[in-house]
């Protein structure tokens, strides 16, 4: 089963890093968030990836072209360095297709541009490539397959909060308080699709707007609610949060370590 990863956005809310590198290459510890996400999928046996590139896609290509597993895995060196024996591996069995899907394309346009690479698939997965989770992926896929839906998404709740403001017609505030995201469900960006999704898409449309509205109208959009770990990296504050978790060894998304 193929996994489509949307890696082409400008990442404007993470400008501290995305001015120089694309957001998928922003590190958590020693590896980019993109690597962590792909390692998560590969842990469940899904290692055929399609990267939809855009902004600084050349850097993502270069990262994998120059990837050296010796820098991230234990190994034994002998013969004065002429022989290297890896004690474990990570990307060796991955298949990665790199596709330029345009600098300013939206998510729907990027998906349409890789449609030809998904022909013959019974279903495929897709991801925004900016959030990590410890979701049991096999169960997520099974629920979608059993639903008979055309599209499926993961819904979650996070610990973030907002100030909720209510006011009257004259502009006077009538109530003010905190509204936490735990009070409503969020699109977590982990998608399942059958190829029929393309029948609901038109050129130029955003994926989760018009196409999803059409699926909803036919009761063909399935949701899997999850209350376990899920965290997005969309801002510098969230990048620091990930770094601190990694430094403590508190990395629930690293299921491969188990």
Residue 180 has pLDDT above 90, yes or no: no
Confidence (pLDDT) at 17 = 53
pLDDT digits (tens, 9 = 90+) for 220-234: 999 999 999 999 998
Contact 16, 122 (CB under 8 A): no
- Please state, in angstroms and rounded to a whole number, the distance separating the CA atoms of residues 37 and 187: 17
Residue 80 has pLDDT above 60, yes or no: yes
Q: 9-13, 50-54, 195-199: lowest mean pLDDT where? A: 9-13
Helix (H) or strand (E) holding 167: strand 161-167
Residue 43 has pLDDT above 80, yes or no: yes
Q: 46-55, 87-96, 245-254: lowest mean pLDDT where? A: 87-96
Work out the average pLDDT over 102-124: 95
The pair phi, psi for residue 160, each rounded to 5°, is -65, 160
Q: What is the dihedral of CA 224, 220, 52, 67, to 10 degrees?
A: 30
Secondary structure of the chain: what % helix, strand, coil (to 5)? 35, 30, 35
- Would you say how long the chain is, in residues? 258
pLDDT class of 144 with cuts at 50, 70, 90:
very high
205-228: string of b/e by CB count within 10 Å (b at 16+)? Answer: bebbeebbebbeeeebbbbbebee
Residue % of the chain over a pLDDT of 70: 91
63 three-class SS: helix
Residue 207 has pLDDT above 60, yes or no: yes
Domain boundaries, the chain: 2-157+185-257
Confidence (pLDDT) at 129 = 95
- Please state, in angstroms and rounded to a whole number, the distance separating the CA atoms of residues 126 and 224: 15
The pTM (predicted TM-score) of the whole model is: 0.87
Task: Fold for 2-157+185-257, please state it.
Answer: Spore Coat Polysaccharide Biosynthesis Protein SpsA; Chain A (3.90.550)
For residues 167 and 131, which has the higher predicted lDDT (pLDDT)? 131
pLDDT class of 69 with cuts at 50, 70, 90:
confident
138 three-class SS: helix
Contact 28, 246 (CB under 8 A): yes
Confidence (pLDDT) at 134 = 97
Distance of CA 135 to CAs 7, 60, 173, Å?
Answer: 21, 26, 40
Work out the average pLDDT over 162-185: 71
């Amino acid at each position: 089963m193929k996994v489509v990863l949307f890696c082409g956005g400008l990442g404007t809310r993470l400008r501290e890093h995305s001015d120089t590198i694309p957001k998928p290459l922003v590190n958590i510890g020693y590896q980019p968030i993109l690597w962590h996400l792909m390692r998560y999928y590969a842990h469940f046996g899904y290692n055929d990836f399609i990267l939809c590139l855009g902004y600084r896609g050349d850097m993502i290509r270069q990262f994998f072209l120059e990837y050296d597993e010796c820098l991230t895995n234990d190994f034994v060196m002998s013969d004065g360095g002429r022989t290297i024996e890896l004690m474990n591996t990570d990307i060796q069995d991955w298949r990665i297709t790199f596709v330029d899907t345009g600098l300013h394309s939206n998510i729907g346009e990027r998906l349409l541009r890789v449609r030809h690479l998904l022909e013959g698939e019974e279903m495929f997965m897709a991801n925004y490539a900016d959030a990590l989770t410890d979701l049991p992926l096999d169960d997520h896929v099974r629920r979608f397959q059993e639903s008979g839906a055309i599209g499926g998404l993961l819904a979650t709740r996070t610990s973030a909060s907002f100030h909720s403001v209510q006011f009257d017609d004259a502009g006077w505030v009538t109530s003010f308080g905190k509204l936490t995201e735990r009070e409503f469900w969020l699109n977590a960006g982990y998608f399942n699709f059958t190829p029929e999704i393309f029948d609901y898409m038109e050129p130029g449309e955003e994926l989760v707007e018009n196409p999803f509205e059409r699926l909803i109208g036919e009761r063909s959009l399935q949701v899997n609610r999850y209350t376990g770990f899920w965290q997005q990296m969309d801002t510098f504050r969230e990048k620091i949060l990930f770094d601190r978790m990694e430094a403590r060894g508190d990395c629930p998304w690293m299921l491969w370590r188990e």
